[in-house]
């Protein structure tokens, strides 16, 4: 084992999930690395199995050091990493209908990144989602398959038009990778939760009604969303809408990510593990309409409590009473039932949510 990786192994072995370390601390502990070495590993996503950026020149530890081995370090720092897109502000992306000037990156996931962009000519602001699979989160062997599915669903996107679903506007390829263009949302439900904290029963029910209507329409088109969660519920001028359909399957995620030993807020956003129904995790082709109901139930629980229960807790029926309304508590317990056939239909879900309204004033 080379000296630099050996020094990094000693350093990371002393850390636990959640620790925050500075760039200077890493370089002091790994004297064989220069700043340029650390920057190179970061750009190639070779260290993100162990540490992820957490502000300027700071990193958050995402794997307990006592499980990190020499083989894991060697594999992470020596494997061939697939090409990662290098996009810059003002870069022009050519779609089928329009051209788009990238403005700033809004976020990223295992499959790709989202940029705010400006439509050439009209100046309208839109969101451009570009496929750019990350090797730290996805198995490299599935990259081609994921890109093909992203491209196929980008082409199908414009056919999905409903008031409770994000509007698809365009698609194309950029630097050999598919992208899709959507309306630009103000922010996500996850952002709103971070700002306001937990929500009341009536607020949760109001949001839930809009999402239930969108999910019902998706299911009526013989589709399954596969990725219902607060980061994928967006706030637009039309209210709360479902974000684009998920194309990722749990089995395609990098085992080093899924077996990190804990489910953190970051891993929930990237991997959706806590929102996935048991059958969806166990079988790559197991997602059904009932799986979306499960994820929807976990989402309602999070809105009420600010907490995301582990799959084990949900499977054991140990969610307690997240709200002050018995009918809502019972509904969430049914929605998160381990057995898909025991979960309610969206018609039943909408019926319960429709009966939960703010108390009359005066």
User: Residue 129 has which token pair?
Assistant: 């989602």
* Whole-angstrom Cα Rg for the chain: 21
Residue range 39-58: mean pLDDT, rounded: 79
| Mean pLDDT value across the chain | 82
Residue range 303-311: mean pLDDT, rounded: 88
Q: Which residues contact 41 (CB under 8 A, 6 or more apart)?
A: 47, 77
pTM over 0.75: no
Higher pLDDT, 75 or 340: 340
92-183 fold: Phosphorylase Kinase; domain 1 (3.30.200)
Residue 227 phi, psi (nearest 5): -150, 50
Asked whether residue 46 carries a pLDDT value surpassing 70, the answer given is: yes
Q: Which residues contact 170 (CB under 8 A, 6 or more apart)?
A: 95, 96, 97, 98, 100, 158, 180, 181
Residue range 330-350: mean pLDDT, rounded: 95
Percent over 70 (pLDDT), the chain: 84
What is the predicted pLDDT for the residue at 137?
A: 56
What is the predicted pLDDT for the residue at 64?
A: 86
What is the predicted pLDDT for the residue at 357?
A: 86
The DSSP element (H or E) to which 5 belongs, if any, is helix 3-13
What is the predicted pLDDT for the residue at 253?
A: 39
Asked whether residue 259 carries a pLDDT value surpassing 60, the answer given is: no
What is the predicted pLDDT for the residue at 40?
A: 80
For 91-140, how does the pLDDT look when each residue is reduced to its tens digit (9 = 90+)? 999 999 999 999 998 887 767 889 999 999 899 999 999 988 766 555 55
Match 């070495």 to its residue by tokens.
Answer: 37
Q: Are 58 and 21 in contact (CB under 8 A)?
A: yes
Percent over 90 (pLDDT), the chain: 41
Residue 174 phi, psi (nearest 5): -135, 125
What is the predicted pLDDT for the residue at 69?
A: 85
**Domain spans in the chain, listed from the N-terminal domain onward:** 3-78, 92-183, 188-354
At residue 25 the predicted structure's pLDDT band, cuts being 50, 70 and 90, is: very high
What is the predicted pLDDT for the residue at 17?
A: 86
The question of whether 173 is a catalytic residue gets the answer: no
Q: Which CATH architecture has domain 188-354?
A: Orthogonal Bundle (1.10)
Q: Are 100 and 128 in contact (CB under 8 A)?
A: yes
Q: Which CATH architecture has domain 3-78?
A: Orthogonal Bundle (1.10)
Q: Does 3-78 match 188-354 in CATH topology? A: no
What is the predicted pLDDT for the residue at 246?
A: 61
Residue range 145-174: mean pLDDT, rounded: 81
Residue of 98, 136, 227, 292 marked active site: 227
What is the predicted pLDDT for the residue at 263?
A: 35
């Amino acid at each position: 084992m080379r000296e630099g990786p050996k020094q990094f192994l000693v350093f990371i072995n002393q850390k636990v999930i959640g620790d925050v370390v500075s760039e200077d601390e890493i370089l002091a502990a790994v004297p064989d690395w220069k700043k340029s070495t650390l920057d190179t590993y970061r750009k190639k996503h070779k260290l993100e199995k162990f540490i992820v950026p957490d502000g300027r020149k700071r990193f958050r530890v995402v794997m307990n050091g006592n499980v990190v081995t020499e083989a894991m370090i060697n594999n992470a720092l020596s494997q061939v990493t697939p090409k990662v897109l290098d996009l810059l502000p003002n870069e022009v992306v050519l779609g089928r209908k329009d051209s788009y000037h990238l403005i700033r990156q809004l976020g990223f996931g295992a499959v790709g990144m989202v940029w705010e962009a400006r439509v050439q000519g009209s100046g309208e602001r839109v969101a451009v989602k570009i496929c750019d699979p990350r090797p730290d989160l996805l198995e490299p062997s599935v990259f081609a398959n994921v890109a093909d599915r992203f491209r196929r669903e980008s082409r199908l996107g414009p056919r999905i038009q409903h008031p409770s679903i994000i509007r698809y506007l365009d698609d194309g390829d950029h630097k050999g990778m598919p992208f899709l263009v959507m309306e630009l949302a103000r922010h996500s439900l996850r952002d709103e939760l971070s700002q306001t904290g937990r929500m009341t029963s009536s607020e949760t029910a109001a949001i839930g009604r809009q999402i239930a209507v969108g999910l019902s329409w998706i299911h009526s088109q013989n589709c399954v969303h596969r990725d219902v969660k607060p980061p994928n519920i967006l706030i637009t001028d039309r209210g709360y809408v479902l974000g684009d359909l998920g194309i990722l399957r749990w089995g395609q995620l990098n085992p080093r990510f899924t077996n990190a030993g804990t489910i953190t807020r970051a891993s929930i956003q990237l991997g959706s593990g806590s929102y996935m129904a048991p059958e969806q995790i166990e079988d790559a082709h197991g997602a059904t309409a009932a799986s979306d109901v499960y994820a929807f139930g976990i989402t309602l629980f999070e809105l009420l409590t600010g907490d995301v229960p582990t799959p084990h807790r949900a499977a054991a029926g140990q969610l307690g009473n997240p709200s002050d309304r018995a009918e809502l508590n019972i509904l969430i317990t049914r929605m998160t039932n381990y057995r898909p056939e025991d979960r309610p239909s969206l018609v039943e879900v909408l019926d319960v949510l429709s009966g939960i309204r703010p108390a009359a004033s005066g």
